[in-house]
Amino acid sequence: MNQFVRLTDYRQHRRGTYFTRQELGQILNVYSRRVATGEWRDYAIDHDGAMAIFSIFRHTHETPLYAIAKCSRGPQRPIDYILFNGPRKLRRAGTLAELLDAFDRKLKLVT
């Protein structure tokens, strides 16, 4: 006879990494200020197992200008936030607020 098999019993129970509502609020606050000045135009959110990525685009059909990644390295290890500019890591922080401070800095003219 046929038996009913629950697939959830055989799947691995991994918890994905996602941005919380508060984290998205913080990121979108910075993002909306830059959109208002015309610097940024589009964004994308990706989730890949142990990493959640908020990508920022200057134009819709380009590669991301910046990417904010939330990385989980295991259940007992702290979460890292990493700011990327293309393949380069610009900054790593333990909290999202520390990472987003990089966008609030004033640029200085070097002569």
% of the chain at pLDDT higher than 70? 85
108 in a structural domain: no
45 in a structural domain: yes
pLDDT in tens, 14-28: 667 899 999 999 999
29 in a structural domain: yes
> What range does the domain containing 94 cover?
15-103
9 in a structural domain: no
Q: What is the pLDDT of residue 110?
A: 56
Q: Residue 105: which pLDDT band, with cuts at 50, 70 and 90?
A: confident
Q: What is the pLDDT of residue 108?
A: 56
111 in a structural domain: no
Contact (Cβ atoms closer than 8 angstroms) between residue 86 and residue 102: no
- Name, in order, each residue with C-beta under 8 angstroms of 59's C-beta and a sequence gap of 6 or more: 41, 42
Instruction: Count structural domains, the chain.
Output: 1
Q: What is the pLDDT of residue 68?
A: 97
Q: What is the pLDDT of residue 12?
A: 63
91 in a structural domain: yes
87 in a structural domain: yes
60 in a structural domain: yes
Model pTM?
0.79
pLDDT in tens, 57-68: 998 888 999 999
